[in-house]
Structure formats: structure tokens, C-alpha cells
Amino acid sequence: MTKILNLRTARDLPRWAISLGTTLYNKTGTWRNFRPVYENKIPPCNHACPANEKIQGYLDLIIQSAAGRTSASLQKKYTQAWFLLTEDNPFPAVCGRVCFHPCETACNRGFYDESLAIHNIERFIGDYGLSKKLKLKTKKLKKRKKIAIIGGGPAGLSAAYFLAQNGYRPTIFEADKQLGGLLASGIPAYRLPKNILQQEINAIIRLGVEVKTNVRIGRDKLLENILNNHDAVFIATGAHQERTLNITGEDAIGVIPALKFLSDLNTGRKIKLGQKVAVIGGGNAAMDAARSILRLGKEPIVIYRRTKNEMPAILDEINDAEEEKIKFIFLAAPVKIITMNNKIVALECVKMKLGKPDASGRRTPLPVKDSNFKIKVDNVIPAIGEQPDFSFLTAGIKTTDRGIQTDEFGITNIPGIFAAGDCVTGPRTVVEAIGAGKKAADALIKYLQKGKAVPEAEQDEKVVQFEQLNQNYFEPTPRLWPEKLNIQKRNKGFKEVYQPYSGKEVETESKRCFSCGVCNRCDNCFVFCPDMAVLKKNSYYEYNYDYCKGCGICVLECPRYAISLIEEKR
């Protein structure tokens, strides 16, 4: 069929010009100057996720689950999705509730109609895993190295998970009586139910992680002690030292720092609160405090020195707080807490105006002269930020003004000592702590295996931009928003506000994924090749380079930029 015909004499020829063979003899691949190659690139969601979750991957698994109509195949794909996700993040049920979802901000669909509700889908997968009691993957204990993790918050637990995955069994030293860090003590139950958190923590501990709670390094044990008794140490102590207002009356009874307030709340301790409670600050702690106060039946007033646009809290939180009709006073700062008979009666504030931008890029708030005003309050809850506690740090570990000094992989200046999370960066988000914990765990493992921590080589990340997609194959589809508890129901306790997706909703929403940079078998390359040089295999495609003329149509018509054109080397 592909042979070249040998017609030498008149006798070999047919009576007239009738074909005897096919054009398969003609390897038109020799015409090429460029050749197309299937080359998956980085989806922006994966790239933006601080834990580098394979978001596109598990969305694709959910889409595939839609193809199989049986319940068993559905479950199979959900399970696969859970395992794919937990390769990079052991806390999907947690993050699916509290994460600030930078993936959604980066999602290319956001430039088309509305970004994917990845946050909600992650929650679905996490909850699914918990409901099916799926077990995290791990390797058998093979490495008898002793590793200490100081701090049982998200960074520490994340590191513990990734170490356990690689056959290590670290020990967590936690100062508090429960694990979880701010997840347990800081975030209220209407955002993160405590049993959900506990289940995901337990799943990690069950891998063989040793836990020592109520052990504060620096008080109960010295850091030197830990360093001497372990082969490597990972510091993940977070940032819990609350900043003070530095105003008169701050020492009055009734001034409760935000994290203490939230911690007491989460541990079930009784809190004495008057009716009107001022919350100072614009971050997540302030929002958590204000909304919790509301649920305790009290009246929160949020006072913030800049405007809503500059508030560092997650936008969802701010919007939900507004929805719950919490009162905000913007462009105001407290100057004095007024007490009478040792009780707080009022808070004196001054109006602020925005000046030039400061180091964070936000405009500096400046007090407006003679604009003081008083509001009646019974309590004041400062929530103006935290910083790490360095008091226990010895052994020559360098610090910066933000936290412990490390490179981007968590390596400190002392070999064998690693650090990640809020204790390095200052207060940040849960997922960043998880991602940092993973990176540090990797560096730590390399240190144990090779004697020194070798940072990973920088990869040229080809993150797919929206302009690189071919939009002609997409249809506008509105984003599915999850149901929320109505306001009345919300205020009657600490029930979860956001309701879960149904299976159908998860499918429908996942199908909106553009699968940026990763082939999802849409067949376009096969459909549009004029030379039949794209061969369909079972679940992928292959180029027949014998015939591909390098026209490049497949490259342009791939909706997701998963094909690259490279120079043909001759």
C-alpha cells in the first residue's frame, strides 16, 4: 500500500492512466519546517494555588465521571479526584471552606464569563473523601530518621503529611492542647465546623505521626534540646502575638484581643460580652470576630482606618458580613478607651483620610485634625494583626522584620533547620502555609537524603494566558453559586453558612473548565487535520510525522493551547 510502484516498460502499464496504488508512498512529512507536538502547559489555577494542586486534573476527573452513567463509575472518578487533590493538599474539606481561592482569581474563564467555582468543588471533593473515609496515601516507614515539627498548625501538619508520604514518621510538638493552629482556635465554626477539621487532622496523624501537645518550646523544652535529639527540625510556630493598639485604656477589662476571643469561643469557654462590641481592624480575624459576636446575639461595630477597598480580609468574608448587616465605620481609628468604674463605656476615635501609598501599596491613613468622635461600646476587640514570637529561637537562626529568614524553599541559615508558614511570612493564609509546609518538607527530605538541602531547579513555567486560548469553542455558561443559609438561620447559632454542591452541580460547574494547557480530548486536532496525520489512540492523540506537513492548524484550533509548534530539525 505504501510502496512505490515499479512500472518500467509499456507492458507494465495499464491500458491508460488508471491508478494502481495509493499516495501513502508519498511521505509528505518531508515538507515540514515546523512540527506540532503535544505539550501540556501549566493551567493558571494550578500555578496560582500556593499548594500547586492539580486543579485542572481533578476537574477533568469530575467531568469524566459525568461520562460514566453508573453510580460505580461516578464514585470511581470522585475517588480518583480526591486522591489527585490530596497529592498536594491533605486539607481539601478545610480549604474548600476557608481558602481565599487565588485559583479562581487566576482562572482564565474569568476573562470569558465567570471564573470556575473551584473553591466549592474542592469542598465537595474533600467532603466526599471524608464521607467515604478515604485513606491518605503513604509509604511504609523506611526511614528511621528523627524529625521534629514545632507547631501543629496547617504548615506543620502539611509538612508532617508530606514527610509521612515519603516514609518518615515525624513528631509534632504543639504548645496548645489541640492541633490545628488557627484553624482550630481562630476560625469560627460557621466557616469551618470543628468535626470536619478534626477528621482531616486525624487522617494525617493516622499515618504514624507522633503528637505531643501541651509542649511549648522555649518553656517546656529548649530548642537546643530538640535540635540535638533530632536529625532535622521544622519550625512552624505561626504568628500568634497580637499587636496592641497602644492607646489609653487598652489594659481595661473588656478589651479582648481577637485571637483570644476566637480561641475561647472555639474551645467553648464562656465569654463575658456586653451588648455593643467594637472590633478594630479589617482583616479576617476582625471579620471572624464581628460575625461571631453577631451570632452570640450581640451588636458588633467594625472600625477600620482605611476603606472597604483596602481591607485585607477575604472578599467573601467582607460581603457576607455586609449581608449580615454588620455595621462598619470606615476611615476611623481608635485613640482612647474610656472607662468608668473599671468598665468600658465608650471608645473615642478620630476620622482618617487616605494619603500616599505605604510599603504595602495601600494609601497611608492619616488622622484628620479635630475630627474626634465617641461611640458607646461595652467591649473592644482589637484585631489589627499578629506577628511571630521569636522568644524561643536560639541557635543562631536568623530572622527578618517579618519572621524567620528562609529562602523560598524553607531553608534557614542553619543546616537541618527549616521553617515555613506565618512564622516566616507573617500572617498569611491557610493554603500558603500548606504549600510552604510542602516545599519545606521536600527540602528537608533532600537534606536527609543528600546531606544538604538542594533547592529544586527553577523550571520555565509556561502558564497559559487567556489570549492563548481559542475561545471559539467555548459557550458562555453562567457560574453556579452555592446556596447560603438565610440570615435568620445564620444568626441562630454557628451553623455553616455555605451549603454544599450536589453531584449534578459539581458536574455542571466542572464542565465549565477550559482545561487551559492540558489536552482534554476534544478531538479538534483530529477533526481539522487536512492530512489525516492525527491518529486517535485510546485516550490520547499521536502525530503521524510521516505525513504531517506542519501547517499548524491543529495548534491554532486547539482550544486550550496544549499543542506547541517547534522548529523541525533537519
Q: What is the 3-state secondary structure (H, E, C) of 37-79?
A: EECCCECHHHHHCCCCCCHHHHHHHHHHHHHCCCHHHHHHHHH
Cα dihedral angle (536, 540, 545, 550), rounded to 10 degrees? 100
Task: Tell me which of 107, 550, 560, 562 binds other proteins, using CB under 8 A.
Answer: 550
Phi-psi region of 390 (alpha: psi -120 to 50; beta: other; left: phi over 0): alpha
Total binding residues toward other proteins, as defined by CB under 8 A? 48
Task: Tell me which of 555, 560, 561, 562 binds other proteins, using CB under 8 A.
Answer: 555
Is there binding between residue 552 and other proteins (CB under 8 A)?
yes
Task: Tell me which of 114, 389, 557, 568 binds other proteins, using CB under 8 A.
Answer: 557
**Residue 125: CB minimum distance to other proteins, A:** 25
Cβ contact 539:526 at 8 Å? no
Looking at the DSSP bridge assignments, the partners of residue 354 are 365
Q: CB nearer to other proteins: give 18 or 72.
A: 18
- Nearest CA to 266 out of 335, 367, 197 is that of 197
Q: What is the 3-state secondary structure (H, E, C) of 358-410?
A: CCCCCEEEEECCCCCEEEECCEEEECCCEECCCCCCCCCCCECCCCECCCCCC
Q: CB nearer to other proteins: give 480 or 497.
A: 480
Is there binding between residue 330 and other proteins (CB under 8 A)?
no
Please list every residue from 31 through 60 that binds other proteins, using CB under 8 A.
31
Is there binding between residue 24 and other proteins (CB under 8 A)?
yes
The three cell numbers of residue 391 are 522568644
Is there binding between residue 15 and other proteins (CB under 8 A)?
yes
Using the contact rule CB under 8 A, the part of the chain among 61-69, 280-288, 349-357, 541-549 near other proteins is 541-549
The three cell numbers of residue 540 are 490520547
**Residue 373: CB minimum distance to other proteins, A:** 49
Using the contact rule CB under 8 A, the part of the chain among 10-18, 91-99, 123-131, 326-334 near other proteins is 10-18
DSSP characters over 408-436: TT-B-SSTTEEE-SHHHHSS--HHHHHHH
Strands 541-543 and 534-536: antiparallel
Is there binding between residue 67 and other proteins (CB under 8 A)?
no
**Residue 29: CB minimum distance to other proteins, A:** 9
CA–CA gap between residue 507 and residue 502 (Å, rounded): 9
Q: CB nearer to other proteins: give 113 or 224.
A: 113
Please list every residue from 119 through 148 that binds other proteins, using CB under 8 A.
none
Q: CB nearer to other proteins: give 113 or 358.
A: 113
Q: CB nearer to other proteins: give 137 or 536.
A: 536
Please list every residue from 461 through 490 that binds other proteins, using CB under 8 A.
472-476
Q: CB nearer to other proteins: give 11 or 270.
A: 11
Beta strands in 294-384 (DSSP E): 299-303, 327-329, 332-340, 343-357, 363-367, 373-376, 379-382
**Positive/negative CA dihedral, 430, 431, 435, 441:** positive
Binding mask 505-534 for other proteins (x = CB under 8 A): -----------------xxx--xx-xxxx-
CA–CA gap between residue 102 and residue 167 (Å, rounded): 31
Task: Tell me which of 452, 556, 566, 567 binds other proteins, using CB under 8 A.
Answer: 556
Cβ contact 61:520 at 8 Å? no
Task: Tell me which of 18, 72, 340, 457 binds other proteins, using CB under 8 A.
Answer: 18
Question: What is the chain's Cα-based Rg?
Answer: 29
Task: Tell me which of 549, 560, 561, 562 binds other proteins, using CB under 8 A.
Answer: 549
CA–CA gap between residue 91 and residue 158 (Å, rounded): 8
Q: CB nearer to other proteins: give 6 or 459.
A: 6
Q: CB nearer to other proteins: give 253 or 527.
A: 527
Q: CB nearer to other proteins: give 306 or 549.
A: 549
**Residue 479: CB minimum distance to other proteins, A:** 14
Burial 239-276 (b: 16+ CB within 10 A, else e): bbebeebebebeebebbbbbbebbbebbeeeeeebeeb
Strands 363-367 and 373-376: unpaired
**Residue 70: CB minimum distance to other proteins, A:** 22
Q: CB nearer to other proteins: give 10 or 457.
A: 10
Q: Other CB atoms closer than 10 Å to residue 4's CB: what's the count?
A: 8
Binding site for other proteins (CB under 8 A): 5, 7, 9-10, 13-28, 31, 472-476, 522-524, 527-528, 530-533, 536, 544, 546-547, 549-553, 555-557, 565
